[in-house]
Amino acid sequence: MSVGPQELLRLVICGSVDDGKSTLLGRLLDDAGLLHQEERQRLAAHGGTLGEPHYAGVVDGLLAERAQAITIDVAYRSMELAGRRYRVADAPGHEQYTHNMITAATRADAALILCDVTRGLTAQTRRHLALLAVLGVHHVGLLVNKMDLVDYAAEAFESVAASFADNARRLGLAQAQSLPVSALCGDNLLHRGHRLGWFDGPSVYDYLATLPPRQERGGALRLPVQWVYRLQDGRRALGGRVSGAVLTPGQAVRVFPGNTEARVARLLAPEADLPEALPGSSVLLTLDQPVDTSRGSVLADIEHPPTVTDQFQATVIWLSRQPLYAGRRYTLKLGTTRVGASVTDIRHRLDPDDLSALAARELGRHEFGVCNLALDRPVPLDAFTDSRETGTFILIDPFDHDTVAAGMVRHALRRATNLHSQPGEVDRAARAAMKGQQPFVLWFTGLSGAGKSTVANLVEQCLHGLGKHTFLLDGDNLRQGLNRDLGFTPGDRVENIRRAAEVARLMTEAGVIVLTAFISPYRAEREMARALFSDQAFLEVFVDAPLSVVEARDPKGLYARARQGALMNFTGIDAPYERPEHPDIQLDTTLLTAPAAAEAVLAALHRRKLI
């Protein structure tokens, strides 16, 4: 294969921990004469020994450039071999750092997976292989390492290679290939060597030379706006990274959201304006007319615009220790855009052995599946197969700001364009005015037996006596009708609260004051409910009583049954209750009687001028 001097191949090196990734990269660089002077000095400080710990120490200690996508624990190295430039990502092999491997592989053209010949394909090796298939990295080389430990036996290599070939075939990786190596001794890295004379395939060096880079050009132009600058002459300049196609002055583009057309006026540079900006380059540009743009806007090809939607289907790789349940809210980061999002439906889980569909109501850590997502507002995006720049995203937990998932857009959902809000002539304000009241929600939460329903009932009676139009949504009552199909698994609890919150929202639109009495054990679901309302229209009322007290009360005998094992997933016993951190109203029912607690709620409503 002939390669040009400017061709760049993005390579990720991955595999299970201790299978020799850093040793391989250090040895390959040393044999090719590419170690920096300071790296050679570091080796010399270890006595000049070319042993595994020393190569690993060189690579781990000196590859200092960090990824900025999901986390910052992927080491990168640029190198050039035989006129081709390589961008090499050394991904950590520990299971807890799987998200770092995803960071590195998202933009990779090809991958090398290392495997210890004495251990074969570990669960982490297979997981990395499945992730590469999901991420669209189809050129995969398995380097069966540590052949020196089995005296370079062909049979040991062929056994691992056969298992790998079968796994790759089931994953649809037609370009997969196995190579025997000894990273420690240098066998089959740049040259095969006499100890692997039985192998008729390429060396690692020759294998890398045959890999085609992903074509930077030929796609649709995309430039997600990352910065907006104000120039000295008052004009706005937009900064971002070009992908898909070359950008030139005078070129017509569309700006999304808004679908506004403009032309590129200048590509700014310190010395002189640029004649063009190549895919992969970061640029600062001006447009020929004022356009409403901000961080998160996307400049796109006139003829091939992105899809602007608030609902889409995606392949999601779940990274959090807490499972994914449909209905919970997250922050979605796609390119330079941040927007509130929720997974509305887990369509199925993907089998890591062959990516076949498996029924699932949740996704566990490092599992991946196909999900539908809904956003708080429409954003421009593309299918991952069309653009990695605007087709990949991460989900962030809004409470602790951890990255909980990585995703690849599959397609927009037709319902996003087929469904439209239908405004009515009579609105919420008109209905509330007719009733002479301000609608709001009192969301009572607490352990079973804390007194939620009792206090809510008393509050409703008092409001009714004041001439207010009210309705009490009780958890037990809802489960006998609207939610009778739901059990008490964590996923069902999430859906139970989601439905209850939507019903409460509709009732406040009708001008009604709504009281709810649900355990609602998860903070995320209570915040999801709060997000449906304005600040003044939702009050979280924490009916606080410790487990020892409510278990002693046990008015329905539920705690006793849960202790006996007759009730599973019972809150407080074998399922958690996450206490509200900052409730609007807190009622300690070990100190307050039910009437006193109700009076405290009414007093809080008076102070807020809600009644």
Among all residues, which ones are annotated catalytic? Answer: 520
How far is Cα of residue 253 from the mean position of the Cα atoms in its chain? 29
Measured between alpha carbons, how far is 604 from 611 in angstroms, rounded to an integer?
A: 10
Residues with Cβ within 8 Å of residue 265, at least 6 apart in sequence: 249, 285, 286, 287, 288
* Tokens 């009360």 found at: 553
d(CA 557, CA 553): 9
Rounded CA-CA distance 569/571 in Å is 6
CA distance 587 to 590: 9
How far is 41 from 31, CA to CA, in rounded Å?
A: 16
Dihedral in degrees, nearest 10, Cα atoms 34, 39, 43, 46:
-170
Instruction: Give the orientation angle of helix 123-134 with respect to helix 98-106, to 10 degrees.
Output: 30
Residue with tokens 């060189």: 58
Distance (Å, whole) CA 13 – CA 108: 10
Residues 6+ positions from 123 with CB-CB distance below 8 Å: none
- Matching residue, tokens 């649709």: 220
Bridge partners, 112 (sequence order): 13, 141
- Per the structure block, which two tokens stand in for 33? 């004469």
What is the torsional sign of CA 563, 566, 571, 575?
positive
Helix (H) or strand (E) holding 525: helix 523-530
CA distance 283 to 4: 24
A 10 A CB-CB count for 69 gives 18
Cβ proximity of 129 and 138 under 8 Å: no
Distance, in Å, from the CA atom of 419 to the CA atom of 466, rounded to the nearest integer, reads 40
The answer to whether 48 and 70 have CB atoms below 8 angstroms apart is: no
CA-nearest of 508, 506, 502, 448 to 475 is: 448
Number of alpha carbons in the 13 Å side-chain half-sphere of residue 595: 0
Instruction: Judge contact between 347 and 313, C-beta under 8 A.
Output: yes
Segments in 255-338 forming alpha helices (H): none
What does DSSP assign to residue 535? G
